[in-house]
Structure 1
Amino acid sequence: MSNSGGHLFGAYGMFWDPDGIAWNPGSGPSAWQLLGRRNHNSGSIRLCDFRRARGVYILFDEFRAVYVGLGRGQGGIGGRLKDHRTDKLAGTWSRFCWFSFDDVVEGGLDGWKVVHRREQPVPNTDETVIREVEALLITVLGARLQNQMKFLGAQRWEQVTESDAATIVERGVVDAKGFTFRPVHTY
C-alpha cells in the first residue's frame, strides 16, 4: 500500500509511569521534561522531549482506561498530563499512553531529536486516517488476532525516568545540554 496520504501519528509511548517523571525538578515551565528514548547504545541512542507534542493520551488505573484527552496548544500532551497530577483525576491513574500528531526530527545536539510541529497533522486521505486509528486501537487494546497492524509513520519511544537520565548523563552518550534539569542519581 502506498503511503501517499502521509501519516497521522509521528511517535508514541506505551504505558509510561508518571512516577518516573521529575514533574517539578526546578522552577519555571521548562524545568521538567517528558523524555523518550530510542535505542540504548552510545552512537545510536536518541532522546526526545515530548512535553509539547500535540496528540492524544490515555490515562489508566490498575485495570482499565479512566480518561482520554487531547494535548494541544503550547502545553501539548505534557502540559495536560501535568495538570492531571493535581486535578480531580489525581490519584486515579497510574500509567499512561500517548500518541503524537507531530513528527520527530534530528535536533541540534548530539544524541537528541526534537518534536517538529506539522502544519497539517491530519493526512490527506481518509484511508490513511482509518488505518492509523485502527493501528492506535490495536496497539492500545492489544487485540491479539490483529497484532500485525503497524502505524505508517510512528516510532515507539520508551520512557526515560529521572534515574535513567542520570545514567545517560554519567555515560556521556548524549549531549547533557539537552536536559533542562540536572538528572540526579537516586541510590
Structure 2
Amino acid sequence: MSVATIRGHRPPTVSTVIAMTKAKATHLIGAYGMFWQRQEIDWDAGHGQTYQLLGYRGDRNPKLEVADFRRARGIYVLFNDFGATYVGRARGNEGFGSRLKKHNASQRKDWNRFCWFSFDSILPINGEPNWRTVARDEGARNVHAESAIDELEALMITSFGLHGTQNRMRLPTAREPWKQLTFDDCAPGKVGRRFDGARVRMGSLRRSLEWD
C-alpha cells in the first residue's frame, strides 16, 4: 500500500485555536511515553524530511490516535541498560525534540531509551480523525496542590517502575501511555497502515510505509 503525497502541515482551524486558547487544564501530566528507543529516531534527517517523536494510542479505529510530541513541554528521563542517567526539562519554545536532539549530539550522555511526561494538552485536529495536536496551554497553573502532588507521585512511580501493592497509581488524565511509532509499526498489516500517513515525515518510517 502506497502513502498519499505529503501535504504541508495544516495550520490549526479556528475552532482548534479557540479550544487551545480556552483550555483550562485540571491536570499536571497531559500525556506521557515510556522507554522510547533512541535508535528509532532519525535525528539527522535528510532534505525534505524531519525527525519526529511520533506516538500512538489504541490499535484500531475509531480509538487509534497519533501525535507528534516533538514540541511538547515537560519532564524527561534518559536511561541506559542499567537505569536512569539524566533528568531534564523542556520548556519555553524548546520541546522534547529540541532537548533530546542536543543530548543525541553530545558524546557525554550515556543513554539508549527515554521516558517523557508532557504538561500540555492533546486536542483533535479537525478533518483528520486519527491525528492529534499538542496544545501549548498554561493550564498547569490552575491545578490544585493536592492534584499536583498526586500526579507527581504517580510520575515517579511510573518512571521508576515501582509497581508494588503500595504503589499502584495511574496518571489520571493521561490514561495509558503513548507508544512510540517505530519502523516495524509501519510495515504491512501493522498499526502504521491504519491511519493517513501524510503527516509522517521521518525518513525511516516513510520508507517502511511505502513498502508493499
TM-score, structure 1 as length reference: 0.85
1:104 is aligned to 2:125 = no
Displacement of 1:145 after TM fit? Answer: 2.8
Instruction: Give the SS at the match of 1:130.
Output: helix
Unaligned residue ranges in structure 1 (runs of 5+): none
Displacement of 1:122 after TM fit? Answer: 3.3
The residue number in structure 2 matching 1:60 is: 79
Task: Give a deviation string over 1:89-139, Cα, whole Å, max 9, x none.
Answer: 34x101110000001111232311111112232343110111011001111
The residue number in structure 2 matching 1:158 is: 179
1:134 is aligned to 2:182 = no
The residue number in structure 2 matching 1:148 is: 168
Say what the alpha-carbon RMSD is for the aligned residues. Answer: 2.5
Matches within 5 A, 1:49-88: 49-88=68-107
TM-score, structure 2 as length reference: 0.76
Is contact 1:8-1:123 (8 Å) kept? no
Instruction: Give the SS at the match of 1:149.
Output: coil
The residue number in structure 2 matching 1:175 is: 196
CA distance in 1, matches of 2:64, 2:81: 31
Instruction: Give the SS at the match of 1:127.
Output: helix
Unaligned residue ranges in structure 2 (runs of 5+): 1-23
Is contact 1:135-1:151 (8 Å) kept? yes
CA distance in 1, matches of 2:113, 2:142: 29
Is contact 1:123-1:129 (8 Å) kept? no
Q: Alpha carbons of 1:27 and 1:75: their partners in 2 closer, same or farther (altered >3 Å)?
A: farther
1:9 is aligned to 2:9 = no
Bigger helix fraction: 2
Between the two proteins, the alignment pairs up a number of residues equal to 181
1:26 is aligned to 2:49 = no
Is contact 1:138-1:146 (8 Å) kept? no
